[in-house]
Amino acid sequence: MSSDKISKVLSHQYELNDPLHQLFDAVRVISVQGYDDQRRVIYWNEGSEVLYGYTKAEASGKKLEDLIIPTYMRQGVIDAHQNWLKNGIEIPAAEITLRNKSGADVSVFSSHVMFTNQYGNQQMYCIDIDLSDIREAEAQALFKQHMLETIFEAIPDLFFLMEKDGRIIDYHTSKKEDLYVSPQQFIGKNMSEILPDEISKKFQTHINKVIKQKEMSSFEYDLTMPQGISYFEARVAYLTEYKQIIVVIRDITEQYKSAELIRHQAYYDSLTLLPNRFLALDRLSQILIEAKRTNQKAVVIFLDLDDFKKVNDSLGHEIGDKLLVKAAHRLTQVVRKEDTVGRLGGDEFIVLLKGFSNHNDVLTIAENLLKVFRTPFKLAGRELMLTLSIGIAIYPENGNSASDLLRNADTAMYQAKSLGRNTFSFFTVEMNKSMQRRFEVEEQMHAALERGEFEVYYQPKFEVNTNSIVGAEALLRWNNATLGNVSPNEFIPIAEHTGLIITLGEYVFNQALGFLKHWQQCDKQAYTMAINLSPRQFRDQSLVTNLQKSLQTISVNAEFLELEITEGVLMNGQAYIHESLAQISALGITLSQDDFGTGYSSLSYLRQYPFDVLKIDRSFIHGITTNKPDCDLVKATIAMANSLGLTVVAEGVETEQQFAILKRLGCDLVQGFYFSRPLTATQLLKFSSKQ
């Protein structure tokens, strides 16, 4: 039988009617050959013509060993093929040296797969990769390491088969993490529904181009992936016969990063090695893109070294440069790893923050920036003090573009200069007012305890069934000559932030326990005293020791002390919380979960920690007479607490109707304005004596 007849018979018996050949026909850089069970060529793609020099017509029907196998390898290839057919022993992928039409050596990485087609015939496909191309594209060298067992998995790129309108009908990837979304989200859908608008338009433009010009087209784009921004090269080809589009996508992130290293000198300040103005503004643009996508805040902090010119003029530019380097180092120590510190020029720096949702977090960063400059710089045998003026602008409140935010942060920085330097200023007027108030409160608080401005008040607790006083909750109040009465809602968070809460907490413990002992002696009653613990106090390693010491010094039995723990203390779930609560409970102190119902995990806390008391938040008590869901929630909470053997306290009881409902529901204790407002120690003694 002639070679042409053999080729026609083989083509009929071994033809595959699926997208497989469509993919391989469109790829010139990969050689794919198909062989029947006699090792005769049944498929020879264009990549094979390029690699081995034989045309498809020349190769069809010829045996593998007669085409590209060197003489010394022929018998081994024949035996290996037969061993696969008869015994199922696969031919392993390997680097081998074959020959082309002219007899020259061809070094390839060859992998194989065996199919049984629709006629029941076995056929082998070989995929050969020219190793010279792989070495030239270092980012694709991982191909050797990740070669898998199938044909598709031997290809490192992403492949998409599409209709002309961009509808995705098939795909392949050996790395699921390279996909922008899952296959379930894009198969059968138009890419415009999946990709960002700008990138989708790029794809459609190049699809239209290849349909019109019948030539492959390529372009680059980037996507924000879970692992960060990734860069890709897309090659688009038109399969005229099938009227379909094939897209081959390669991840070029590594090449892109390598190119960035080459351009390092253009983007980084040569003195401080920080990002220069160009790179800092480029990063700001990227941060804004991410912030818009994730609906988070971005922050621009503009910094200027106060009176730096005097250093240059008096000590010289060499000392000035060294001072700038040390200043840059200190700035980088304050911010997080994902943030950016850049030098805009001269003594001006910029800090870019992302992923913020709370203004207080920004406030903390600004305070830390000022704080890190309070230590003198040691240069040339001198100690130099250097301060900062800081301006802050926040996206989206203070601008939507990089230029707007930079300009507004600069304006805020000059406002900080006008405030006396060594401070920071927010661009927003309202935020500045709040900041100034915070500064005033913090300044006055430092010596308030010594001035005797703090006083402990007591909110009486009542037993529901008898209406009798059983104890009180200690509440800290502050009256300042300059600020007047400062609300605990205002000064407690500031005390928590500055660490003053530790000293204030000790003051409250000693005052409340001392009064408790006196109160019990006066009324001959076993009153209890509830004291709140803040998250900062709870993290104090000496907390348990100080509690024990206070109880012993004042001679108060631990069973009369109740500590109220909010969800803020419990949220991080670290091991020391379990240990501290266990130690406190072991002392005989009562543990109460405060503000129950306002958080996300209150039920789990009751299961995890040794609580004795559950305190229902006042927001639910307020609504029990008018809001059925609130009433139902309180009812369920009381029932649950009773089943767990917990005492239930309702705070914020202000009306007779609220009290009646709580009594009917089986609440144990109540407190609130209906019975009494918070009282001084003297007032409470008089009040309780009349009960």
- Is 45 in a helix, a strand, or coil? coil
Who contacts 492 (Cβ-Cβ below 8 Å, separation ≥6)? 476, 501, 534
The two structure tokens encoding residue 675: 């019975």
Q: What is the pLDDT of residue 45?
A: 92
**Does 610 reside within a domain?**
yes
Instruction: Give yes or no: residues 96 and 192 share one domain.
Output: no
Is 517 within a domain? yes
The first and second tokens of residue 487, run together, are 């609300």
377 and 296 part of one domain: yes
Q: What is the dihedral of CA 133, 136, 138, 143, to 10 degrees?
A: 10
3-state secondary structure (DSSP) of residue 141: coil
Q: CA-CA distance, 411 to 370, in Å (whole number)? A: 18
335: nearest Cα among 365, 371, 359: 365
Is residue 535 located within the same domain as residue 669? Answer: yes
Residue 591 lies in a domain: yes
Whether residues 111 and 83 fall in one domain: yes
| Residue type present at position 282 | D
> How many domains is the chain partitioned into structurally?
4
Q: Are residues 402 and 521 in the same domain?
A: no
DSSP states of 271-307 as a string?
TT-SB-HHHHHHHHHHHHHHHHHHT-EEEEEEEEETT
Measure the CA–CA gap between 44 and 27, rounded to whole angstroms: 12
Quick one: 370 and 299 in the same domain?
yes
Q: Which domain holds residue 76?
A: 3-135
End residue of a domain, out of 406, 427, 448: 427
C-alpha–C-alpha distance, residues 425 and 435, integer Å: 8
Which CATH number goes with the domain that contains 304?
A: 3.30.70.270
Residue 688 located in a structural domain = no
Query: Where a domain ends, among 212, 236, 258?
Result: 258
DSSP annotation of 242 reads T
Domain end residue (candidates: 238, 258, 278): 258
Question: What is the domain-level CATH number for residue 80?
Answer: 3.30.450.20
Residue 662 lies in a domain: yes
C-alpha closest to that of 386 among 409, 361, 405, 369 = 369
Within this chain, do residues 19 and 54 fall inside the same structural domain, yes or no?
A: yes
Domain match, 280 and 389 both: yes
Distance (Å, whole) CA 352 – CA 301: 6
Cβ contact 537:502 at 8 Å: yes
Task: For residue 478, tell me if it sits in a domain.
Answer: no
574: domain CATH number is: 3.20.20.450
Question: Does 103 lie in the same domain as 164?
Answer: no
- Considering the domain architecture, whether residues 184 and 310 belong to the same structural domain is answered as no
Is residue 314 assigned to a domain? yes
289 & 423 share domain: yes
402, 287 Cβ separation under 8 angstroms: no
Each residue of 227-247: pLDDT tens digit? 788 888 889 999 888 889 988
For 150, the enclosing helix (H) or strand (E) is: none
214 and 360 assigned to the same domain: no
This prediction has a pTM of 0.47
Q: Give the per-residue pLDDT at 5.
A: 46
What's the DSSP call for residue 347?
T
Segments in the chain below pLDDT 70: 1-20, 23, 132-156, 174, 260-261, 429-435, 568, 571-576, 597-604
- Residue 385, domain member (yes or no): yes
CB 366 within 8 A of CB 413: no
